[in-house]
Amino acid sequence: MKLSPDETIFWQHGFFTLNLTIVTTWAVMLVLVIAAALVTRNLKTGIRISRWQSILEMLVVGINNQIEDIGLKNPKDYIGFIGTLFIFIVTSNILIILPWYEPPTGSLSTTTALAVCVFMAVPFFGIANTGLLGYLKSYIQPTFIMLPFNLISEITRTLALAVRLFGNMMSGGLIIAILLSITPLLFPIVMQSLGLLTGVVQAYIFSILATVYIAAAVHDSKPMNK
Partner 1 sequence: MQINWFTVIAQIINFIFLVWLLKRFLYKPILKAIDERENKIAGHIKDAEVKDAKAKKEQIEFAAKNETFEKEKKGLMDNAIAETNEKRQKLLESARNEAIELQSKLENSLKEMEENLNRDMAQKTQQEVFAITRKTLADLANQSLEEQSVSIFIQRIVDLKKEEKKKFVEAFKKKSNSILVQSAFDLAKKQQADIKNVVNEILGLETQFQFKTAPELICGIELTSNGFKLAWSISDYLNSFQKSIAESVRAEPIEEQHASKPI
Binding site for partner 1 (CB under 8 A): 3-4, 6, 15-17, 19, 21-22, 25-26, 29, 32-33, 36-37, 40, 43-47, 53, 56-57, 60-61, 64, 76, 79-81, 83-85, 87-88, 104, 107-110, 112-114, 116-117, 170
Nearer to partner 1, 60 or 127 (CB): 60
User: Taking a C-beta distance cutoff of 8 angstroms, is the pair 115, 158 a contact?
Assistant: yes
User: Taking a C-beta distance cutoff of 8 angstroms, is the pair 36, 56 a contact?
Assistant: yes
**Environment class of 101 (CB within 10 Å of its CB; exposed 0-12, middle 13-18, buried 19+):** middle
Nearer to partner 1, 45 or 225 (CB): 45
Nearer to partner 1, 48 or 226 (CB): 48
> In angstroms, what is the minimal distance from the CB of 82 to partner 1?
10
Rounded Cα gap, residues 54 and 79, in angstroms = 18
User: Taking a C-beta distance cutoff of 8 angstroms, is the pair 57, 133 a contact?
Assistant: no
> In angstroms, what is the minimal distance from the CB of 134 to partner 1?
25
Nearer to partner 1, 79 or 217 (CB): 79
> In angstroms, what is the minimal distance from the CB of 217 to partner 1?
18
Nearer to partner 1, 82 or 96 (CB): 82
> In angstroms, what is the minimal distance from the CB of 185 to partner 1?
30
Angle at the Cα of 25 from the Cα atoms of 166 and 124, rounded to 5 degrees: 75
> In angstroms, what is the minimal distance from the CB of 140 to partner 1?
29
* Helix H or strand E segment including 2: none
The phi, psi pair for 52, rounded to 5°, reads: -65, -40
> In angstroms, what is the minimal distance from the CB of 202 to partner 1?
16
Rounded Cα gap, residues 213 and 122, in angstroms = 6
- Residue 73: strand, helix, or coil: coil
> In angstroms, what is the minimal distance from the CB of 52 to partner 1?
11
Nearer to partner 1, 31 or 189 (CB): 31
Q: Looking at beta carbons, which pairs linking 118-121 to residues 24 or more positions away fall under 8 Å?
A: 118/85, 118/158, 118/161, 118/209, 118/210, 118/213, 118/214, 119/154, 119/158, 121/81, 121/210, 121/214
Nearer to partner 1, 22 or 138 (CB): 22
